Chain A
């Protein structure tokens, strides 16, 4: 492969990694604080992008292609937040109120998969199962550095992921909310006894993870110019791989893991063809799980609870 093309692939890998890092942070938040592998994140990611597309698409839709797309994106994020709070009500909160411990059974996992089925087929029923083209204004903002092309939305999602990781890290370390979250992660019952209002803080975690997934979905739609009801599935499994490799519950681990998976995928595809991508990603994940289950930056204790 000639050098400029190789450099371009490295750039593409880092940019795909930016989107993956975003989704991986959303996963790591719910798993780090609540010990809950939230399978509705791909649904929230997709709902936000689909709603934005539906409102911003130029052909006879409400907002047209002007500045209306900002309103459309806001509506997409609002839809994703509403979906996240609904999911929280019927997965985590219900199990905790009724059984005292939301993660003792595999129930939240099953319920979240039920919600994934609901949301994917809801969008299929509304807008069909075929992919749709998206024309957001950000699409024309490709930057050129010599022979290298850097997509504007790609770059925005990479920079936003880094900024949000720093912000979330600071919130967790420095603020009262962060201390409450760390207490819940340590032990929800003890946190309640210490005066943390668990029932009021858990929805915040869901909303934060939902907002992250929604932003990632919209940026993904803007970067790649397409949306579909199943767009979240592959991104989410790759982001889960990135999260585990980075270490469950670690925000910077999620960023590092997301970037690593993005790079690995783009490199494998450009060197060996499209069919090969699964082997390096999942092979690396399995190796990490067996050799160093805590990942690169994770805490050993997290994610070990029984189902």
Chain B
């Protein structure tokens, strides 16, 4: 596999994990515009463990996930005091604070970023992503997943039916934080570098867009959203090579991409992948059973 292709693939796989870190709270009705905070917390923790203490990857990355989960658990009490736009801004503020603290720790590279030597190859990244997809799909089929879906659709009715709103939301936010930390650990060890500047506001905005574009109703939404956001700009870049008439894509590909974002929201307001899509597909199969 060429270096370019494996680079894009690794980026896509990590983006899927980070998308799930925002998807889990979103599936329980919590909008998180602070993905970068948990990615930074997990990435810097895991990176510091391999670099300074010589931990192996298979303990350092989960430890990074735990650190991010702890952070998410602690801040979830503050986040849950807010609603609507305020919650978006609270999670955003938390991410900026984490970045603001890390950039001032000179032992971890400060403003010039953290460089590590341990390397997590593509197979490792692939295995962790596959495990994450399976885990989230399973989680949504459990009682907790059902409670999250109920809260997402209507929190008052969910409470009436005996769902413990606060506990479920704290659990969803903490699990999301853990996934963000694991994604950060993979990110820093695959690219051997992480810094606060490139894991900032724009990063958080893009991750939230993966989730809302992909759709929050099913476990496949974040995969679709991350794939759209990672692959469409790359495909447009390739498109510029078709001929001189397509040359404008070299500089203009993000304009086309932004227009695609607006268009998808106009045509599919619940996201690319919806629950109705699966239900229609299942109904179609029930009506026309294939040959025995």
Which residues does chain B contribute within 8 Å of A98, judged by CB atoms? 269
Bound complex: CA of A237 vs CA of B201, how far in Å?
Answer: 9
Give the residue of B99, B104, B155, B261 whose beta carbon is less than 8 angstroms from that of A117. Answer: B261
Task: Determine whether the beta carbon of B100 is less than 8 Å from that of A118.
Answer: no
C-beta contact mask, B75-101 vs A, less than 8 Å → 1, else 0? 000100111111011101110110111
Task: Determine whether the beta carbon of A114 is less than 8 Å from that of B101.
Answer: no
Residue B103 CB within 8 A of the other chain = yes
Which residues does chain A contribute within 8 Å of B90, judged by CB atoms? 286, 289-290
How near does chain B come to A291, taking the closest CB pair, in angstroms? 9
Report the stretch among A59-67, A137-145, A186-194, A271-279 that lies at the interface: A271-279
How near does chain A come to B87, taking the closest CB pair, in angstroms? 8
Task: Determine whether the beta carbon of B255 is less than 8 Å from that of A304.
Answer: no
C-beta contact mask, A38-53 vs B, less than 8 Å → 1, else 0? 0100000000000000
Which residues does chain A contribute within 8 Å of B260, judged by CB atoms? 114
A121-B254, A278-B97, A306-B29 given; A110·B89 CB < 8 A = no
Report the stretch among B49-57, B205-213, B278-286 that lies at the interface: B205-213
Task: Determine whether the beta carbon of A31 is less than 8 Å from that of B85.
Answer: yes
Residue A240 CB within 8 A of the other chain = yes
Bound complex: CA of A276 vs CA of B97, how far in Å?
Answer: 10
Bound complex: CA of A26 vs CA of B145, how far in Å?
Answer: 40
Residue B109 CB within 8 A of the other chain = no
18 pairs of residues in contact across A and B, judged by CB atoms under 8 Å:
A35-B84, A99-B269, A105-B269, A106-B31, A107-B265, A113-B261, A114-B259, A114-B262, A122-B255, A125-B251, A248-B86, A275-B111, A277-B100, A282-B93, A283-B93, A285-B93, A289-B86, A306-B29
Task: Determine whether the beta carbon of A115 is less than 8 Å from that of B258.
Answer: yes
Give the residue of A106, A116, A283, A289 whose beta carbon is less than 8 angstroms from that of B89. Answer: A289
Residue B7 CB within 8 A of the other chain = no
Smallest Cβ-Cβ distance to A105: which chain B residue? B269
Residue B266 CB within 8 A of the other chain = yes
Which residues does chain A contribute within 8 Å of B85, judged by CB atoms? 31, 35, 37, 248, 303
A121-B255, A237-B201, A290-B81 given; A106·B93 CB < 8 A = no
Bound complex: CA of A233 vs CA of B205, how far in Å?
Answer: 12
A110-B213, A282-B97, A289-B90 given; A90·B261 CB < 8 A = no
How near does chain B come to A26, taking the closest CB pair, in angstroms? 15
Residue B110 CB within 8 A of the other chain = yes
Residue B191 CB within 8 A of the other chain = no
Which residues does chain A contribute within 8 Å of B97, judged by CB atoms? 278-279, 282-283, 286
Residue B257 CB within 8 A of the other chain = yes
Task: Determine whether the beta carbon of B266 is less than 8 Å from that of A118.
Answer: no
Task: Determine whether the beta carbon of B266 is less than 8 Å from that of A286.
Answer: no
Task: Determine whether the beta carbon of A276 is less than 8 Å from that of B205.
Answer: no
Bound complex: CA of A95 vs CA of B31, how far in Å?
Answer: 19
Task: Determine whether the beta carbon of A285 is less than 8 Å from that of B89.
Answer: yes
Residue A111 CB within 8 A of the other chain = yes
Residue B252 CB within 8 A of the other chain = yes
A113-B209, A233-B201, A275-B104 given; A305·B258 CB < 8 A = no
C-beta contact mask, A81-119 vs B, less than 8 Å → 1, else 0? 000000000100011001100000111011101111110
Residue A7 CB within 8 A of the other chain = no
Most B-side CB within 10 Å, residue of A105, A106, A244:
A106
Which residues does chain A contribute within 8 Å of B265, judged by CB atoms? 107, 110-111, 114
Bound complex: CA of A114 vs CA of B81, how far in Å?
Answer: 29
A111-B262, A118-B258 given; A282·B96 CB < 8 A = yes
Give the residue of A35, A106, A278, A289 whose beta carbon is less than 8 angstroms from that of B100. Answer: A278
Residue A293 CB within 8 A of the other chain = yes
Residue A166 CB within 8 A of the other chain = no
Smallest Cβ-Cβ distance to B213: which chain A residue? A110
How near does chain A come to B268, taking the closest CB pair, in angstroms? 10
Residue A124 CB within 8 A of the other chain = yes
Task: Determine whether the beta carbon of B262 is less than 8 Å from that of A118.
Answer: yes
Which residues does chain B contribute within 8 Å of A124, judged by CB atoms? 251, 254
How near does chain A come to B202, taking the closest CB pair, in angstroms? 8
Which residues does chain A contribute within 8 Å of B94, judged by CB atoms? 282, 286
Bound complex: CA of A233 vs CA of B260, how far in Å?
Answer: 22
A275-B104, A276-B100, A276-B104 given; A293·B81 CB < 8 A = yes
Bound complex: CA of A241 vs CA of B96, how far in Å?
Answer: 11
How near does chain A come to B57, taking the closest CB pair, in angstroms? 30
Give the residue of B93, B201, B257, B258 whose beta carbon is less than 8 angstroms from that of A289. Answer: B93
Task: Determine whether the beta carbon of A304 is less than 8 Å from that of B100.
Answer: no
Smallest Cβ-Cβ distance to B81: which chain A residue? A290
Bound complex: CA of A255 vs CA of B93, how far in Å?
Answer: 20
Smallest Cβ-Cβ distance to A31: which chain B residue? B85
Task: Determine whether the beta carbon of A289 is less than 8 Å from that of B82.
Answer: yes
How near does chain A come to B63, taking the closest CB pair, in angstroms? 25
Residues of B260-275 at the interface with A, using a CB-CB cut-off of 8 Å, are 260-262, 265-266, 269-270
Task: Determine whether the beta carbon of B110 is less than 8 Å from that of A275.
Answer: yes
Give the residue of B84, B100, B209, B269 whose beta carbon is less than 8 angstroms from that of A282. Answer: B100
Smallest Cβ-Cβ distance to B201: which chain A residue? A237
